[in-house]
Structure 1
Amino acid sequence: MRWTLKAKPEKHKINHLKNVLNVEENVATLLIQRGIETFEEAKTFFRPQLSDLHDPFLMKDMQKAVNRIEKALQNNERILVYGDYDVDGTTSVALMSSYLKTHSDNISSYIPDRYQEGYGVSYQGIDFAHDNEFSLIIALDCGIKAIEKVAYAKEKGIDFIICDHHRPGNQVPNAIAVLDPKQDDCNYPYDELCGCGVGFKLIQAIASTKGETIEDLIPYLDLVATAIGADIVPITGENRTLAYFGMQVVNQNPRAGFKAIINQIKKNTLTITDVVFIIAPRINAAGRMKHGMYAVDLLTQTNFELAEQYAGEIETFNSDRRDADKQITIEALQQIEEQKEQKRFTTVVYNENWHKGVIGIVASRLIETYYRPTLVFTKSGEFLAASARSVSGFDVYNALEACSEHIEQFGGHKYAAGLTLKPENYEAFKNAFEAEVKNTINPNLLTPELKIDAQINLSEVDDKLMRILKQFAPYGPGNMSPIFMSEQLQDTGYGKCVGEDDKHLRITVKDDSTKNSLVCIGFNLGHKLDVIKNKQFFRAAYSVDENEWQGHVSLQLKLRDIKA
């Protein structure tokens, strides 16, 4: 890893914030690094208010969307709520359908089959709507590129409202309303919402016309917070407010589906990181291994006993998903090893038998090992389908766009995308993608970067700092858990490798600034035991954490890396 110490803010800014907030210098530094320089900004950061949320009608086409939905509700039209099969899509469908059902009985949900229909709006889904006399489809977390499909629906007398957050192409579908803050001509003040976030803005707008308040919508925010965490969108601005209140719902009054999952994992208080690594994979597993409607059914179920049954089924899917992703990762790593004679700027692997539902996870696993823009392909009907993942700082969506002559379809974000192509175009695409990345990437980006917020002494790590850092949550892109660096550290002599295959490192450290020692855990750092042996000095990059054992809570450092 390359360690990069963030620039220290100007002294006068630190002193000002230190004085107005009555905090230590290191806390003022962390806040300024996050763009917080005044008392008011700090107040908004530490005490988000629902009144901080923007007026939903600032979003392009919002009034058109509300008018069409109002008309449908008044005329008892059948409305189909359509969404993608991942966490953002299924939470969006659960959110929109459960809200609309409080105003109409003519609401149904539809999630496309990952294997029969693929990503996004499908002709099969539109035919289903036509056959069952739906006159309005609300598409969530997809649809921004469904130009031909929306036109096809129009021919069948079906209107479309699109709620998406993916990047639009040169043209947008001819729908009744297209809600996507990433449109160039949309002046909405915040363009980093996830799909469920855009869906929430729509129900916020509908609610305002019905005399409902934002407080009436709080019970839906557990879904929004889960989507924000799972979709790796920045936890800044409006997303931070939505996640902050959503996590309160998750922990204090979760819907039956979440409660059923939480009961299985037996954890009392969840952070957004727990949501990302515990709840989200289970919701995702339904669409990966079976069908996304299992997730929607779980998230909309009000009967707790039924929710427990659904959660049990989804737990089985998640177990199957783990087995598949482990096996495919082993096979993919073998394939890369065989190609290793040539130095490449990308990782592209393919096996026609790999499970389409887990190739995105496998792509992320490969980046952990080889740290290159990565594509994992499998067979999907007549085409090859791939999940793309990128390294920090490199826009894989732009790279795919540059290779679009070889691609049938693609879409996504800067760091994660999906595509399909014809088998005969695979080699040409693979070469074009390699050339594009080689010509445009800064070679430094091929070494993982560890961004360090501040250098401190161990004496500064205390309960008071931990209390303040807890108030920085929820953490995520744009507001990552602070990483500190300390030098001239020594292990007290009891450092050892722990865990399966001695993968992890557990040490107790001290430095000259304090008599106290602190326990550290370094996941996947077992191979660095030699760095701390024989009481030699080393430096460490870490985040401050808590360890709970038999009811006793103590400070602990979570090591990110150590160097001699």
Structure 2
Amino acid sequence: MVREWKLAEPPKEEYIKELSKQPKVPQLITQLLAQRGVKTLSEARNYFRPTLEKLHDPFLMKDMDVAVARLTLAIEKGERILFFGDYDADGTTAVALYMHFFRSVYANVDYYIPDKYAEGYGVSERGVEYAYTTNCQLIVSLDCGITSFESIDAAQHRNIDFIVCDHHQVGEKLPNALAVLNPQREDCNYPFKGLSGCGVGFKFLQGFCQKHGIDPTPLWHHLDLVALGTACDVVPMVDENRVLCHQGVEYLKKTKKAGLLALFSTLKLNQKEITLNDLAFSLGPIINAAGRVAHAQYSASILSTDDPKEAKELALELNRLNGLRKSYDRQNTEEAIVLGEQEKDQPILVLYKEDWHKGVLGIVASKCVEHFGKPTICLTHSRGEITGSVRSTDNFNIHEILTACDDLLIKFGGHTSAAGLSLKEENLSAFKERVLANVNKKMNGKDFVSYRNIDLKVELNNLNISVATILGQMKPFGHENEIPVFLCENVKVSDVPRVLKDKHLKFKVVQEEGDQALNVIAFNQVDDLEIITTSTFDMLFKLEINEYRGSKTLQLNCIEIKKSKS
């Protein structure tokens, strides 16, 4: 794999000129905004103020009117409603959102989370059977359902209506549901396609409130769950997702939900200082752990409960399961890398071991992509089938490759860069051959390229606390609205670098003699010590404010170093 630094295309001059009309805004900031599609001062104000007024009309989504009408009818007739959620953080937060919302609206509801191992991905026939035996007349799927054709047909045959709330890619046909809420539909004109599954579910509830003139304020209080589900899924942090996450984090800081408070305590997170990173990298893994190694019912229960005692017990159990998940993750990754070394000349890695733990294969595949720099499919044997997870590299659509193997698969679903699948054991060899052939054809001998994306090339003397402060106001960051990465060329150290814990570097840099030296921290880059002490170098970094004992200083968080060409 080729690893390259990729500097973003310069923004249009007319955008910069327009944004520069705002006085006292550094040019560096106007350049960043223009690069991220901000063209006018009005759009800039919206970007920095992601308020609830910026949410789109839910009835712009295809089938929203049908879905709201059917939900209304169910409530008027006193029907029992089942919320069927996926087993990951996106799905379980969506279920919890619905359970909390309906406590004050309508009591005759229930939820169902499938067993990842016994039932697999999507709406299961066992779940439909549960709905039937508990006398449910309506099922609302959350973060799944778009490819669950047979199970949804089975529900229809039992006179159970179905509403799908999903965000995964849509195939050539839709399931036979009464309403399919999915902004990815080709016939859906909803202005934002990047909602999470929990986000689509939220829009359904927003539409319900809007239709009936219900004060949405109680719904806003559940944005803590929407932010959590969104942060834990691979969705773009732009448009509505910025609004939902920005507002949701503020509600998290004052939430009284017993389950979230118990998780904060177990993870030793300061509630008043919670960040989006905490959701993605602390809360997300512990919530997902249940579905990976046991049953996601634990996660749905803790997110839904109002009982502090139950929440505390569930938090301890989730923490135990997360430890178990880490153990499986470590062992299976080591074995996958050994297998990958044997096939590293192939354009894509299709790795199979019958005793791998199904629940961590997505993590294992991601680590193989990072290690080998090519798409990876990790498979194992589970309940008479081959099942597994797929992760891809930059700009390579793995969903297209799986679609071309549709006839060999029992089912599959996901995004362009991540997916899950299952197939019959006898089809494994044919599947591997076709995948290799299709990827070979698509790549045509070219190497996969991993890009280190760079926002702007800057001069050190243009960086200061004020710029860093404004950058902090560009949060929430995430996919498609990443933390800005800067390039500075021909820099040199101005002091003797310090080595911290035998692996980190701390030093000061200047570009020109007489410039004010800036602090740099370079984590896990001790191998670059010789480069920075023997030559000028180019450096990629993120701009930070380091606060210590009440004093704030500018700090460059170094990402990567290369010896300067000149």
Report the TM range for the smaller structure's normalisation.
over 0.9
**Offset at residue 163 of structure 1 (A):** 0.4
Listed one character per residue, the Cα deviations across residues 220-268 of structure 1 (whole Å, up to 9, x for unaligned) are 1111111221112011111111111111112233633222222233343
**Offset at residue 444 of structure 1 (A):** 6.7
Listed one character per residue, the Cα deviations across residues 158-207 of structure 1 (whole Å, up to 9, x for unaligned) are 11111011112222122121111111111211111111011000110111
Map residues 97-112 of structure 1 onto 2, 5 A cutoff: 97-112=99-114
Indicate the larger mover: 49-58 or 389-398: 49-58
Q: How many residues align?
A: 559
User: 1:555 matched to which residue of 2?
Assistant: 554
User: 2:133 matched to which residue of 1?
Assistant: 131
**Offset at residue 289 of structure 1 (A):** 1.5
CA contact (8 A) 1:15 1:25 kept: no
1:155 and 1:470 map into 2 onto residues whose CA distance is 53
Q: 2:258 aligns with which of 240, 256, 267?
A: 256
**Offset at residue 490 of structure 1 (A):** 1.9
Listed one character per residue, the Cα deviations across residues 115-154 of structure 1 (whole Å, up to 9, x for unaligned) are 1111110111111111111111111111111111111111
Map residues 306-325 of structure 1 onto 2, 5 A cutoff: 306-325=310-329
- 1:295 matches 2:294: no
- Change beyond 3 A, Cα 1:494–1:426: farther
TM-score by structure 2 length?
0.94
1:254 and 1:551 map into 2 onto residues whose CA distance is 30
User: 1:511 matched to which residue of 2?
Assistant: 511
Map residues 345-494 of structure 1 onto 2, 5 A cutoff: 345-441=347-443, 446-494=448-496
**Offset at residue 471 of structure 1 (A):** 0.9
SS in 1 for 2:545: strand
2:450 and 2:244 map into 1 onto residues whose CA distance is 30
1:443 and 1:212 map into 2 onto residues whose CA distance is 59
- Change beyond 3 A, Cα 1:320–1:147: same
CA contact (8 A) 2:394 2:449 kept: no
**Offset at residue 503 of structure 1 (A):** 4.6
User: 2:538 matched to which residue of 1?
Assistant: 539
**Offset at residue 552 of structure 1 (A):** 5.1
CA contact (8 A) 1:226 1:280 kept: yes
**Offset at residue 504 of structure 1 (A):** 4.0
Q: 1:275 aligns with which of 251, 274, 279?
A: 279
What letter is aligned with 1:508? K
User: 1:241 matched to which residue of 2?
Assistant: 243
User: 2:209 matched to which residue of 1?
Assistant: 207
What letter is aligned with 2:85? G
User: 2:98 matched to which residue of 1?
Assistant: 96
What letter is aligned with 2:541? Y
- Change beyond 3 A, Cα 1:521–1:323: farther
2:200 and 2:49 map into 1 onto residues whose CA distance is 23
User: 1:529 matched to which residue of 2?
Assistant: 529
**Offset at residue 212 of structure 1 (A):** 2.1
2:72 and 2:536 map into 1 onto residues whose CA distance is 68
- 1:120 matches 2:122: yes
2:523 and 2:192 map into 1 onto residues whose CA distance is 36
Q: 2:331 aligns with which of 310, 321, 327?
A: 327
SS in 2 for 1:563: strand
Indicate the larger mover: 548-557 or 130-139: 548-557
Structure 1's unaligned 5+ residue stretches are none
User: 2:218 matched to which residue of 1?
Assistant: 216
TM-score by structure 1 length?
0.95
Listed one character per residue, the Cα deviations across residues 247-306 of structure 1 (whole Å, up to 9, x for unaligned) are 111223363322222223334322212211111111101111211111111111223343
Listed one character per residue, the Cα deviations across residues 35-78 of structure 1 (whole Å, up to 9, x for unaligned) are 10101100110012211111111111111111111121122211
What letter is aligned with 1:454? L
What letter is aligned with 2:516? N
- Change beyond 3 A, Cα 1:312–1:510: farther
1:216 and 1:513 map into 2 onto residues whose CA distance is 59
Map residues 13-28 of structure 1 onto 2, 5 A cutoff: 13-20=15-22, 22-28=24-30
1:519 and 1:308 map into 2 onto residues whose CA distance is 42
**Offset at residue 551 of structure 1 (A):** 5.8
2:343 and 2:93 map into 1 onto residues whose CA distance is 40
**Offset at residue 461 of structure 1 (A):** 2.3
**Offset at residue 513 of structure 1 (A):** 6.9
CA contact (8 A) 1:81 1:109 kept: yes
